[in-house]
Amino acid sequence: MSDLITVSLVDLDLAAQDKDAATRRLAELMSAEGRVTDLETFLTDVRAREAQMPTGLEGGIGIPHARSTGVTQPTVAFGRSATGVDYGASDGPAHLVFLIAAPAGGGDEHLKVLAALARRLVHASFKEALLQASDAEAVVDLFQREVVVS
């Protein structure tokens, strides 16, 4: 699970104006790494999951996620948006977006990651560290230290 997120899966200047564009941008990072082999299938699966229930959390967080046949390994991509992206949270747009991808036939690793991430995101210090991270390495280090479960 230690390779769930890498520096190439981090966009600290996410410029997307809506959740579809933000999700696509992060999914494209996954695709460039070979972790998503069918981009359109994966995006369709993420949109279907999002249609069931918005994935925005209070405090400026978006966590779109899906299992998909277009995914080769559990992966997390992270984007930080200065303007924010609407993921349906009641308190406004997300400035921190985590796209979680899992293979369709895989185990429950992505649910463990989702739960661990949600537990960390209630801590203001964790969110602030992500908002202030100076580079992708800092984000990956923080994620590995605070979220990845062994």
Q: Which candidate, 63, 86, 83, 112, places its Cα nearest to that of 14?
A: 83
pLDDT at 93: 96
Dig out the tokens for 47 from the structure.
């949109």
Active-site residue set: 65
Which DSSP symbol is given to 89?
-
In this structure, is residue 136 part of a structural domain? yes
Q: How far apart are CA 64 and CA 57, in angstroms?
A: 10
Whether 116 is covered by a domain: the verdict is yes
Quick one: pLDDT at residue 20?
A: 96
Low-confidence ranges of the chain (pLDDT < 50): 150
Indicate whether 2 belongs to any domain.
no
Query: Does residue 110 form part of some domain?
Result: yes
Say what the pTM is. 0.93
Give me the domain span that covers residue 61: 7-146
In a domain, 1, yes or no: no
> Cα(11)–Cα(140) distance, rounded to whole angstroms?
11
Q: Is residue 52 part of a domain?
A: yes
- Tell me what the pLDDT averaged over the chain comes to: 91
Beta pairing partners, 36 = 71
Could you give the number of structural domains in the chain?
A: 1
Residue 12 lies in a domain: yes
- Residue 67 sits in a domain whose CATH number is 3.40.930.10
